[in-house]
Amino acid sequence: MSKRSEQFAITLAQLNPTVGDVEGNAAKARAARAQAHADGADLVLLPELFIAGYPPEDLVLKPAFQSACRAAVETLARETADGGPAMLIGSPWVEDGKLYNACALLDGGRIAAIRFKANLPNYGVFDEKRLFARGPAAGPVTVRGVRVGVPICEDIWLEESADYENIVECLAETGAEILVVPNGSPYAREKSDLRLSIVVARVTESGLPLVYLNQVGGQDELVFDGASFALNADLSVAAQLPAFEESITTLRWSKTDSGWRCNGPIAPVLDGDKGDYAACVLGLRDYVGKNGFPAVLLGVSGGIDSALCAAIAVDALGAERVRGVMLPFRFTAQVSLQDAAKLAKALGIRYEVLPIAPAVKGFEEILSGTFAGMPRDITEENLQARARGTLLMAISNKTGAMVVTTGNKSEMSVGYATLYGDMNGGFNPIKDIYKTEVFRLSTLRNSWKPPGARGPSGEVIPPDIISRAPTAELRENQADQDSLPPYDLLDAILERLVEREEPLSSIVAEGFEREVVARIDRLLNIAEYKRRQAAPGVKVTSRNFGRDRRYPITNKFRDSGKPLPEPDDGLLSRASRGSAEAFEG
């Protein structure tokens, strides 16, 4: 065996593509290959569907887009005639009239091989079965004499079943020596542990080392955290790339008696509250940057939600691109005015105070005849929020700055937000953050700043805002919790209703009061129409109010709270069951 065949260098290009920017993504791939060439690498690996950007959704169905992606891949393939490293790059690919999620091996000036994704996810935020054809199982590709297996993302995630083919087993049986996996895996809390457990299972069953490359960056509501890693065949960590930042890292593998082995760099990985905060920052940064907004503005109320959003915005964009506007009414407490000013000073943002009393009074005068004889109620209170929304959107239209909305998941879940008022805007970085975590993240940010954050270090959110009890945080002269249970109780119930989809009877059986659970469930259901019209926002939990939780607005079903009846399998004859199976098959 030659010295060359005993060494194999793979460059991991953990990069941030932009959906639809085919030429820009190709330029990133080209630059990564140039660095790989300088590092003496044999192969440069890029994430899933990199040339298109991930996820491309229905954009990938456009023939013009498919053609642009293929043309870019062909151009990159011709460039590999320079004798530099081979490239594995993800791209949509049309063959025999079918569209595939593919990975192309570019080497020696040619497209040396194509591999298609076989297992297509169709759960949560994924909707690939309606976009792509299922690819066949295939053997490894050969790069510099090394047989490399290329399962694509979902191809390693589930065990073999009627719907999922064991691609890793197929690759091991057909001679693969090492597995490289291009991924588009979005961030969620504790996702790193889940990925590791999946990879451990695949390495254990195949006996092969595995390189897990994930993309990084924000795409609409999704945030991809990178955090790429590699395991040796003995399950030891071969390398760990950083999270939430681009990284081009070359791993040098050596051939041993037990197979290929690497001892690469090990970076710390952010998870838990730190991971959530970093995801909020990256999600906002890329939404603003990739959509071409020059700056952002937000209403600063002196409360904790807007304070946290302001800190996230400054960390994402820098203070010079963030504008805070205090919009007080006659019920606004002096302490709120003071705290808003302190926040703006600590963050170094532009800040102004625009009293809204004249606008609210004007609305009330216009409606006085229409509302004559009717008692004042929540309608008049909501005019305050709508006046604020109108003024913020006017500033946005005039300056081009995007409005950041500041509603947390707890209150948005139960409808405690006003459409066309405190919900309207371009993007909400804390849309998937429960109120109890809002307090935790605010405390965290005063003692820690994520790598790459552009805001100041140290205490940026006034302690008075954080220490103020939630029941004292006023919403126009009325505490939210005057009509909601305490936030720790509210969040515990919502987590069971939203993330776990637990029946009401199960939640009550855990010790929660039946009336409180039923009321929160009712509020959750009737607020669906509001959430449909809310701004997009960063997803950090397993199920947010975006693409992975789709409930009808018009919906008469309500959980009665009674124990669920056991199904009576005795009513189903064997013949009926067999007929159903035959029909489905």
Positions annotated as catalytic residues are 48, 117, 153
The alpha carbon torsion through 183, 184, 186, 189 (nearest 10 deg) reads: 0
Nearest to 447 by CA among 429, 469, 466, 471: 466
| CA separation, residue 487 to residues 177, 333, 381, 528, 542 (Å) | 53, 22, 22, 20, 20
Give every CB contact of residue 527 below 8 A, 6+ residues apart in sequence: 412, 413, 414, 415
86-105 residues labelled b (16+ CB within 10 A) or e (exposed): bbbbbbbbeeeeebbbbbbb
Q: How far apart are CA 444 and CA 349, in angstroms?
A: 20
- Angle between helix axes 63-79 and 22-38 (nearest 10 degrees) is 20
| Residue type (1 letter), 389 | G
Give every CB contact of residue 139 below 8 A, 6+ residues apart in sequence: 149, 170, 171, 174, 175, 176
| CA separation, residue 28 to residues 80, 181, 248 (Å) | 15, 19, 11
Q: How far apart are CA 229 and CA 226, in angstroms?
A: 9
Where do runs of H (alpha helix) occur along 241-356?
272-290, 304-317, 334-347
Nearest to 270 by CA among 242, 238, 302, 301: 242
Phi-psi region of 400 (alpha: psi -120 to 50; beta: other; left: phi over 0): left
| Residue type (1 letter), 489 | L
The single-letter DSSP state of residue 535 is P
Helix (H) or strand (E) holding 516: helix 514-526
